A and B are shown apart, each in its own frame.
Chain A
Amino acid sequence: MIEKIKERLKEHILEYKENIDMHILVIKKESLLSVIKTLHDEFNFNMLVDLTAIDWLDKKQERFEIVYHLRNLDENFMIRVKTSINENEEIDSITSIYRGANWLEREVYDMFGIIFKNHPNLERILMWESFQGHPLRKDFFIRTEVSLPENE
């Protein structure tokens, strides 16, 4: 299966890796939506298992890496799709393909400040609305003093 995926998506894939747990596809950020859609429609990756981000700060050229874990339920096949964006860039929301991505994208926005384009309701989910900063960024220090919300 992985060979077919690689062949079908070869113009979008920047890097392919066979990791200790599953196959990893690193794709171009502008083709994210079409890659996910192809995986969903043609390769039957019908479940989004997890969606998260990694902040590399200055360790990598592009600061944020967004990681999608997809699963083909019929064949129990998992794949990890990654794409990178810079701090001031936005990324397409995949809520039109997976409704389950809704809260996960809100969480990534809340924790990393990554904006998802065309998300139906992109607002903070775990932190309160008047909270400043994004806690999971590497430049947000754990001992940062924050002011608590007043009657929200």
Chain B
Amino acid sequence: MEVITKDENYVELNVGPQHPATHGVLRVVLTLDGEKIVKAKCKIGYLHRGTEKLGEEKNYYQMLIYTDRLDYLAPLSNNFAYVRAVEKLLGIENKIPKRAEYLRVILAELSRIASHIVGIGTHVMDIGAWTFFLHAFREREKIYDLLEEISGQRMNNTFFRFGGVAADCPDGWLDKVYKWADEFEKKVWSELMDLVAENPIFKERTIGIGIIPKELAINLSLTGPLLRASGIKKDLRKDSPYSVYSEFNFEVPIGKNGDTYDRFLVRMEEMRQSARIIKQAIERIPDGDVLIDDYKIVPPPKKIVYSQIEYLIHHFKIMSEGFLVPEGEAYASVEGPKGEIGFYIVSDGSSKPYRFRIRPPSFINLQALEEIAPGHLIADFIALIGTIDIVLGEVDR
């Protein structure tokens, strides 16, 4: 951190971009009056990779892997939103096999828990609770093992496909997930809560810090746990149920005061509810295909590609050019761990999007930092960054 003095009364302090508590490459210029923050200004863009521009250069399949690299803590949620937008344009959103939809829900909820573990874990570590971080990351490790088993990769899974998911799960995988979710819901979750929730130091540092009033939360376009902690019961999974979410029984937790402590509680409760959804999904998952059999969109199975010329042509077309998407535009969003992640795609009828727009929840939520930071102490500022739970890969895109 370097200190630059401009005004006689105020000190300007540069936090980041390499500060350990900024969770990436966020840079914030603080104007301080003593220890009090007068103004906070975010400088972002250090991780800008031009994903939206790339979207106009790559075909729909190639773009799928880039969506993983937005919010890299919950890549499957990003996949989910993107494939839904493209499926809407293709008009196949109601033809997705049931088994695939259930697998999607299981995977999206697993990644929500993994993302919240990082979000809360690093947040409480920043303000001094080291133990929680270690215990929570043990659970995240188990989730990543499960994801590795089904998709072959720990991060950036790219497991979703237009029209379903890449493959069926391996034998016994569902039982393992069920066992983990059951243990997490019944045992581990309360252990994690016991570590910090009633800790007087933790409460001292979070209650009343960074209050976002209801009206401000809506006006700032906040979504996800930030909105819900301010007392607004809005969750896309409940309000405009996509996929098969309407079939599950779960609660949408809300906060009362909209402060940092409430956001912690909301995220914790969401993890437990996610575990409930996973268990219900595994209980009800039907047998069947996991991918539609429209070979203009989905590459046909290798067996028939090698034996029948028609399928070889389909395969060649998809692999070289991609598939054509009818002209039009569609917006689709899902409730990601950070908030509403949406994709707005404009197609001109070719195999590449004409406009590839990402609605980034972290980017929009980060605006709240500039609004709520003034009036707090520098030490609380670290808690504020943690509570907003950003991923710079998505802020900068």
How far, in whole Å, are A111 and B240 apart by their CA atoms in the complex? Answer: 31
Compute the total of residue contacts between A and B using a CB distance below 8 Å. Answer: 90
**B53–A135 touching, CB < 8 Å:** yes
Q: Does B290 contact A (CB under 8 A)?
A: no
How far, in whole Å, are A111 and B53 apart by their CA atoms in the complex? Answer: 10
Q: Does B234 contact A (CB under 8 A)?
A: yes
**B367–A136 touching, CB < 8 Å:** no
How far, in whole Å, are A101 and B363 apart by their CA atoms in the complex? Answer: 12
Using A103-B367, A126-B44 as known contacts, say yes or no to A76 and B239 having CB atoms under 8 A apart: yes
What is the 8 Å Cβ interface bit string for chain A, positions 113-143, against chain B (1 contact, 0 not)? 0000000000011111000000110001010
How far, in whole Å, are A78 and B239 apart by their CA atoms in the complex? Answer: 12
**A121: nearest residue on chain B (CB-CB)?**
B41
Using A19-B329, A20-B91, A20-B328 as known contacts, say yes or no to A67 and B344 having CB atoms under 8 A apart: yes
Give, as a whole number of angstroms, the nearest-CB distance from B352 to chain A.
12
**A20–B89 touching, CB < 8 Å:** yes
Using A80-B331, A142-B57 as known contacts, say yes or no to A50 and B357 having CB atoms under 8 A apart: yes
Report the stretch among A3-11, A26-34, A41-49 that lies at the interface.
A41-49
Enumerate B356-397 residues with CB–CB distance to A below 8 Å: 357, 359, 363-364, 366-367, 371, 396-397
**B44–A73 touching, CB < 8 Å:** no
Using A21-B330, A50-B344, A73-B232 as known contacts, say yes or no to A100 and B357 having CB atoms under 8 A apart: no
Give, as a whole number of angstroms, the nearest-CB distance from A22 to chain B.
7
| Residues on the A chain within 8 Å of B57, using CB | 142
Report the stretch among B2-10, B128-136, B217-225 that lies at the interface.
B217-225
**B220–A99 touching, CB < 8 Å:** yes
How far, in whole Å, are A45 and B182 apart by their CA atoms in the complex? Answer: 40
| Residues on the A chain within 8 Å of B328, using CB | 19-20
**A143: nearest residue on chain B (CB-CB)?**
B57
**B364: nearest residue on chain A (CB-CB)?**
A100
**A76–B45 touching, CB < 8 Å:** no
**B239: nearest residue on chain A (CB-CB)?**
A76
| Residues on the A chain within 8 Å of B331, using CB | 21-22, 50, 69, 78, 80
How far, in whole Å, are A111 and B52 apart by their CA atoms in the complex? Answer: 10
**B45–A54 touching, CB < 8 Å:** no
**B367–A135 touching, CB < 8 Å:** no
**A50–B342 touching, CB < 8 Å:** yes
**B88–A20 touching, CB < 8 Å:** yes
Identify 25 residue pairs between A and B in the complex whose beta-carbon atoms are under 8 Å apart, listed by A's number: A19-B328, A20-B89, A20-B91, A21-B331, A21-B332, A22-B331, A46-B219, A49-B221, A50-B357, A52-B344, A52-B357, A54-B346, A67-B344, A69-B331, A80-B331, A99-B216, A100-B367, A103-B364, A111-B52, A126-B48, A126-B396, A127-B45, A127-B48, A136-B53, A142-B53
Beyond A54-B355, A69-B331, list 10 extra A-B contacts (CB 8 Å): A20-B328, A46-B219, A47-B221, A50-B344, A55-B355, A98-B221, A100-B220, A126-B48, A127-B48, A140-B53
